Amino acid sequence: MNFFPSHPPSVRLFGLQSSLISGGILWLCLCAMPALADDYSEVTQLLHSGKLSQAQALAQSHISNNPRDPQMRFLQAEVLTQLGQTTEAIDLLEALRAEYPELPEPYNNLAALYAKQGQYDKARGALEMAIKTNPRYVTAIENLGDVYAKLASEQYAKALALSPASTTLPVKIDRLTQVFDTTAETLALDPSDAHDPIAQALRDWAKAWSLRDMPSYLASYAPDFQPAKQQSLADWRTERYQRIRAKNRIQISLKDLRVQHLSDDTARATFIQTYQADGLSLTHQKVLEFKRIDNRWLIQRESSDE
């Protein structure tokens, strides 16, 4: 579920959109003191880089000195979510919702976390409150549709259990299941490639991209990764974050892998990549150059024939 419709990109949590901070500071309809802006930016960058422990420590330090700062508390809720501490994130968002009942965004993000726990009735209630607060909150309206679809799927399943001979219910269930299908296609390898460390690195990279797991995806790249088009690494990270998170569903399929080990610590992987997202499908040849750092194979350069 999305957080502020005019600012960050949206991502999907179990079919529902939730906001993540991207490309800078997310302002909560309130003004922050300029002296504090660096903290917001630093926590955001740490979050994008997958350095969650550091982001959590800095956010907590800031909040200790500014306990009612809503912006940093929203950032902290996102850090907690990324750390898998869903209960703690819900508690924090519930507190913010109580303190700022005029804002629809806390309801929206709470709904995403409730959906993650399978509590779709709670998610529906939170979204209805978000829309009541802001009837033009498009993302919340879309999310409410997703929740209704999930609830409908559950009711169809109950009906099918009572009427297993039904021919229409399985079709309805299958169509709704496709909406919430988050299965990621990853690298298809020949048996000879199964234990190649480059192949494993590619599997992890493709899986993170398919699942829009940005910390894992960005962690696949070396600290000295060289983006194309003379783009800075920081700008590249922000752009990738926004583009990937904005998609509702991504599938990355790789085939015809060829790995060339150039030295003990460098390698080149060439393969055919098929990218599918929101109705778009593209296939092209791609080349990734890897560098071993601290016994991990990380992407240093990438190019394609697109």
Nearest to 98 by CA among 89, 106, 88: 106
More confidently predicted of 95 and 257: 95
CA pair distance 167, 157, nearest whole angstrom: 13
More confidently predicted of 31 and 305: 305
pLDDT score, position 8 = 34
pLDDT bracket for residue 154 (50, 70, 90)? confident
CA pair distance 12, 30, nearest whole angstrom: 26
- Contact indicator for 281, 271 with CB cutoff of 8 Å: no
Q: What is the pLDDT of residues 12-60, one digit of tens each?
A: 334 455 544 333 333 344 434 444 556 777 887 787 667 888 989 999 9
More confidently predicted of 135 and 178: 135
One-letter-per-residue 3-state SS of 115-174: HHCCCHHHHHHHHHHHHHHCCCCHHHHHHHHHHHHHHHHHHHHHHHHHCCCCCCHHHHHH
Residues 184-200, mean pLDDT to the nearest whole number? 59
pLDDT bracket for residue 81 (50, 70, 90)? confident
- Contact indicator for 130, 104 with CB cutoff of 8 Å: yes
CATH class of 191-304: alpha beta
Q: What is the pLDDT of residues 2-14, one digit of tens each?
A: 333 333 333 333 4
pLDDT score, position 181 = 52
- Contact indicator for 289, 210 with CB cutoff of 8 Å: no
Q: Is the pLDDT of residue 198 over 90?
A: no
CA pair distance 259, 132, nearest whole angstrom: 55
pLDDT score, position 258 = 84
pLDDT score, position 26 = 35
Q: Is the pLDDT of residue 193 over 90?
A: no
Backbone angles phi, psi at 287, to 5 degrees: -130, 125
pLDDT score, position 140 = 84
Residue whose structure tokens are 């959109």: 17
- Contact indicator for 166, 142 with CB cutoff of 8 Å: no
pLDDT score, position 107 = 87
Tokens found for residue 118: 């399978």
Q: Is the pLDDT of residue 118 over 60?
A: yes
All CATH 3.10.450.50 domain ranges of the chain, comma separated, are 191-304
pLDDT bracket for residue 112 (50, 70, 90)? confident
Q: What is the pLDDT of residues 158-170, one digit of tens each?
A: 999 999 899 998 8
Tell me the average pLDDT of the chain: 79
Q: What kind of architecture, by CATH, is found in domain 10-150?
A: Alpha Horseshoe (1.25)
All CATH 1.25.40.10 domain ranges of the chain, comma separated, are 10-150
Q: Is the pLDDT of residue 190 over 70?
A: no
Q: Is the pLDDT of residue 196 over 80?
A: no
pLDDT score, position 20 = 41
pLDDT score, position 178 = 65
pLDDT score, position 297 = 92
- Contact indicator for 18, 11 with CB cutoff of 8 Å: yes
More confidently predicted of 178 and 275: 275
Q: What is the pLDDT of residues 235-254, one digit of tens each?
A: 999 999 999 999 988 988 88
CA pair distance 26, 10, nearest whole angstrom: 13
